[in-house]
Structure 1
Amino acid sequence: MDVDRLLPTPEAADLIALTREIADKELSPRVDEHEAAETYPEGLFTTLGEAGLLGLAYPEEYGGGGQPYEVYLQVLEELAARWAAVAVATSVHTLACHPLNSFGTPEQKERWLPAMLAGETIGGYSLSEPQAGSDAAALNCKAERTEDGAGGTAYRVTGNKAWITHGGKAGFYALFARTAAGSHGVSCFLAPGATEGLTFGKPERKMGLQAVPTTSAHWDGALLEADRLIGDEGQGLQIAFSALDCGRLGIAACATGLAQAALDAAVEYANERTTFGRRIVDHQGLGFLLADMAAAVDSARATYLDAARRRDLGRPFSRQASAAKLIATDAAMKVTTDAVQVLGGYGYTRDFPVERYMREAKIMQIFEGTNQIQRLVISRGLAR
């Protein structure tokens, strides 16, 4: 069922209506086939880009939608309610655009940002490494200054990266690599996906989100031009962490959309299925379970919107972003698990989507910082 949303403008309401129309036409009919076959939805992100859905949170002067974050996140939630993998990849693309938009020079933005925001080139976020997930300061992948062969400066990148959404498919990557020792020795680069010396591993065999690949990457002395450096040398972790606050809100919205889909499926089934001469929704034990599920979804949505509105007002929102990610993803795990319970034996089969929702919900508690890391961020904020 359509969520009754409180939106800031009539334009935002029109955007949500457009998103629902596109999602129902382009995502809903394809999701089961691609997730079951683990095949990539070729052309789908081009369609989303042409509709203006891949640059909503960015400035209109570079081709973005100029929308507040509270609106962008609700668009993301609508996508996730139809196809979680596509919504997560959209969130990652938005995350990958953040370094250039927030820390790039005017010349860099003019050169690369319009194509990125239009979805002509899709982005990946390359921060994690095999031994450095939550501990980003432990990065080993190196970017060393060298000559470019034409009298100029370049960076030679060597090392391994891991857990890259859209790995091997993206046209660019927000790459974080070490240019010096210490926590202030990590830098950010806008790396082309077709860089010579960059190769990708086989897609990970995941529990869910199988239609969009997640891979490792190997940089074998690949050269990046000096103007691919975003911000200053050593500013990488600052850039990464500022982007992750926004990314955590994206995942919170995706988790809420996934939970909403599970709730809708459970309510529909409970209204149709009968036992002992009554619809199962009319049995108090099940009705109360559905009520708890609905309350969890509403709470998740309210929490991420509170953080987004703080961001839109220019107020600090890091702690609220972590809280939103924690609450929304834990809610998604519980609601999807309960949806399987509502459907009983049918919920455990692939004839209904709730078993997939349950599998997809688990990763939401892990990426963009595990929920244990979110608790650490929140507690540190309280200590300060």
Structure 2
Amino acid sequence: MRIAMFHWGFPPIIGGVETHLTMLCPELVRKGHKVFLLTSSVEGMGKIEEVFEGTYVKRTPLMDLNWLYKRGLEGIDDRVKEAFSDFIEKAHPDIIHAHNMHYFSHAHAKILEALARKKGIPLVLTAHNVWDDIVFLDLTLDIAWDAVIAVSEFIAKELISVGLSKRRITVIHHGIDIKKFLPGKAGAILKKYPVLKNKRAFFHPARTGLAKGSDISVKALRIIKKAVPDALLILAGTRRIIDWGATQHKDLAYIVQLVKRFGLEENTFIEVFTRKEMPELYQACEFAIYPSSVGEPFGLTMLEAMACSRPMIVTNSGGMPEIVKDGVNGFVVKIRDYKALAERCIALFQDEALRNSLGEAGREIVGQKYTQGIMAENTLAVYRKLIARKK
């Protein structure tokens, strides 16, 4: 099978969808399929074509949302059509699979739809997020997606609530490589980041921002420090992200100022980490947290932490409670309740047996339900059904 993927970003761009694609695309290749990805160019990165673990990757500024936001979308149609047409001609796909193209740009979605119809190729959308404006409604409901994959039951319910037919939706949760994310003790990461030594670390593995609850983590840390003086909150700073609306720098500045105001500089570590460093970062921590303040669609890092046998504390936000069960493999607290978050963190710091039992349960759950192999097979089942329908 030949598969043409479209998405607004790919590493070194950092984000949940980008990480998802690094799991899905190589797994499809390993299963014997040809995968092609059209994505954004990256400032300072010379290559516009590369091969990532068997996936052919083509980059263009026409998929760069940061550039498009600054430029504006007016008069972009002809250039997008040419880029999409050339890519599809090269890929000669049996399936076209777009990720989060039910938002941002009418031109991109409508041009892709027209090309798919012209060539008789099934068009799949994976909805990783939902929004609350007209662009989202238009591109979710007016584009003739042959199938829509929702990354959680939460996303599926949101899509149905605005009028998308339930029959067109398949829920496929993310999956990860459990051979890379393993329990164990950190090694090289402690040498690279000496600040982690002799500290009781916990990790908030999401880009530093208000929507991700970074401010809630810092407010909780202020309480945690009183019970656990050597606690260290690790926050994942970001340089290369999709920042539609240009809010990231403002958010980061606020979080840094909050840390300083609370006098938590010695208990907070903000750094830009690579994908390769993530498994050891989880191993260097006693548990992980993700106190999202918005309807988080899924939260891929939950699976990563769980695969490393680290308990997760999340909020009752979006799709996260589908994965983290309170008292089973972690804890669930209310959105923006930094006091409850602090209490759960302190409980985990003070009870090693509890950490171990929750962590072991998490690892088992991931192995049973959330591997990249399971995710790829479920995705292929959607493709095969659509291709059979076209014949």
TM-score (norm 1): 0.27
User: Which structure features the higher share of helix residues?
Assistant: 1
